[in-house]
Amino acid sequence: MARAGRIAAAAAVLLACAVLLPSCAARANGEPPLIGGADAPLAEGGGEGVDAPFAPDDADGPAPDDAAIDLDGLDDAAPPEGFEPEGAALEARLDAYLRENVPRTGVPGVAVAVVDADGVRYLDTFGDCPGADAPFVIGSLSKSFTAAAVMQLAEQGLVDLDAPASSYAPGYDVPDEVTVRSLLNQTSGFGYDESLADAQVGDTFGTFSYANANYDLIGRVVEGATGETYAAYLDEHVLGPLGMASSTADADEAAALGMAPGHRDWFGLHLADGFRHAQGDSAWGGPASGYVAASAEDMASYLRMYLNDGATDGGARVLSPDSVRSMFLDRVPDPAGDTYYGMGWTSFYWDDGELVLSHDGQVENYVASMCLLPERGIGVAVLGDANDNAGGNDRFFDLAGGVVSVAVGGAPGPVDVAWAALWRQRTDVLYACALLAAAVPLLLTGRWRRRLASVPRRRLLAQGLGLHAALPVAILALPLQWGAPWRDLLAFSPDAALVLVLCAALLVVAGAAKLALLAKPAAKPPPGSARMR
């Protein structure tokens, strides 16, 4: 019975840890659910003249003819019948939706911008957001900024998109077949979890495979072609011309600009714990792939640039119309879904054939989402100051999808909190079960001590090695098994990392206590008594 109990306790610890890890270690500075995408129909209903826009076209059918999509003169795009892009009507509907639903996300601070080519139609903040000019880290929305920078260089003849990336970044040992274009389209073969320092071309070369290392290397291409740092180039040639004074790719400058404080999830509590992302090629993602900081006010200017064919309000050109079109439509299909990846933009089609461009972002303590509807001339940006992998992020992306729905005249339902609450409860129960199971051997050390008189010590030592040495190693190896390196687990799901470490530590402490007892000389039996075996 004692042996069965030990086996059961060990199995319980490992099982609980194995079950909690995939759900709580899911992290992405990459591909959270797309607004209105195949895996996340985030809004329901539609306004007058809106033909069920929240489902993508059939993945097995051909994409609509890109040549027939009019991306020229986006400012002349006609809004749907019944849509009022100006005035109090849109503001009132967005206010009503957001004031009801922002609290349902659990995100402490949210900023929202809705624009068309002519101006900002809605700009507001909710919760503890310091203001519309407060920067948020925008995660993988940064990729489109990086793509815009390299497209500028291509226009000037400083970068050839079909040249090897290594010709502009000679310090990186990358095969010649990895071109700048393959990095932009994410077809280089780099692995999802790889940092730029350890990126290797794998068997996905030539097909879309999301990896931050692609855009981190493009950042180095920008630096090699210009002789400037990525942050300096972006500030001078993209952010500056757009008047994005509250945006930067420099972490220290972002802090000085008065960032919205980022929050990480600790057992269901969003805590501003002062976390700052590591810098350098060994980090999972850098400024070029996921760590540009921008305010909602500045994101409005950025999206309007695309709706105006690459021009600023004053007519200054940031990108040529051809470059804008290339960023959107020079793309590759995602073999895992109904979407395409261009140059920093994901695209898909609503079931009436309308093109939708979007990108979502998720870093350790921020989330973000942006969407462009070029045929309608509408842009949306939603920024949040917390990351919550245990269901909370899905609520945020539900909210972002709802904003798009309202912007096109739809009537989205409330953000669903029941599923996220269930996920949170399940996660907390698994945490508790894992910790309790790991604590059992320590709690029963006194009972184990009494067995010293009846069980050979070598047998107890062998049993202890399995429970108190092999099992902790297995627990600490779980992140690697589930494709979540400790580097990322500690940053994106610190509570899950803490639980795994505590489980392993409890088992090791119990093992140390037992080893100390084994090291003591065996008590001599009373005179005249027979030794029990």
Q: What is the DSSP string of 112-142?
A: EEEEETTEEEEEEEEET---TT--EE-GGGH
- For residue 421, tell me if it sits in a domain: no
| Least confident among 25-39, 135-149, 333-347, 412-426 | 25-39
Mean pLDDT of 394-413: 94
Per-residue pLDDT, 226: 98
| Least confident among 77-86, 135-144, 234-243, 457-466 | 77-86
**Tokens at residue 118, please?**
């002519």
Give tens-digit pLDDT for 349-359: 998 899 999 99
Mean pLDDT of 211-240: 98
Split at pLDDT 50, 70, 90, the class of 484 is: confident
DSSP label of 56: B
C-alpha–C-alpha distance, residues 153 and 150, integer Å: 5
22: pLDDT strictly greater than 80: no
C-alpha–C-alpha distance, residues 52 and 487, integer Å: 42
C-alpha–C-alpha distance, residues 501 and 80, integer Å: 54
Split at pLDDT 50, 70, 90, the class of 32 is: very low
- For residue 222, tell me if it sits in a domain: yes
527: pLDDT strictly greater than 90: no
For residues 250 and 228, the answer to whether their CB atoms sit within 8 Å is: no
The kind and range of the H/E element at 266 are strand 263-266
Mean pLDDT of 75-97: 66
For residues 132 and 295, the answer to whether their CB atoms sit within 8 Å is: yes
Mean pLDDT of 477-497: 87
497: pLDDT strictly greater than 90: yes
Name the residue type at position 187: T
How many domains are contained in the chain?
1
521: pLDDT strictly greater than 50: yes
Closest by CA to 424, choosing from 385, 378, 453, 389, is 389
Mean pLDDT of 198-224: 96
| Rg (the chain; Cα; Å) | 27
- For residue 267, tell me if it sits in a domain: yes
CATH number where 112 lies: 3.40.710.10
- Average of per-residue pLDDT values in the chain: 83
Mean pLDDT of 314-343: 96
Per-residue pLDDT, 74: 42
- For residue 288, tell me if it sits in a domain: yes
- For residue 514, tell me if it sits in a domain: no
Per-residue pLDDT, 87: 53
Please report, for residues 66, 176, 206, 412, the alpha-carbon distance to residue 70 in angstroms, rounded to integers and kept in the order given: 9, 35, 28, 28
- For residue 503, tell me if it sits in a domain: no
For residues 332 and 105, the answer to whether their CB atoms sit within 8 Å is: no
- For residue 284, tell me if it sits in a domain: yes
**Burial of 364 per CB tally in 10 Å (0-12, 13-18, 19+):** buried
Per-residue pLDDT, 200: 93
28: pLDDT strictly greater than 90: no
Claim: this prediction has a pTM higher than 0.85: no
b/e 498-522 (16+ beta carbons within 10 angstroms → b): bbbebbbebbbbbbebbeebeeeee
Mean pLDDT of 101-115: 97
Mean pLDDT of 73-91: 54
Q: List the domain range (segments joined by +) for residue 126.
A: 24-410
Mean pLDDT of 190-205: 93
Per-residue pLDDT, 442: 85
DSSP label of 62: P
Residue with tokens 């100006």: 86
b/e 132-162 (16+ beta carbons within 10 angstroms → b): bbbbbbbbbbbbbbbbbbbbbbbeeeebebe
Split at pLDDT 50, 70, 90, the class of 237 is: very high
Closest by CA to 358, choosing from 293, 323, 403, 392, is 403
- For residue 456, tell me if it sits in a domain: no
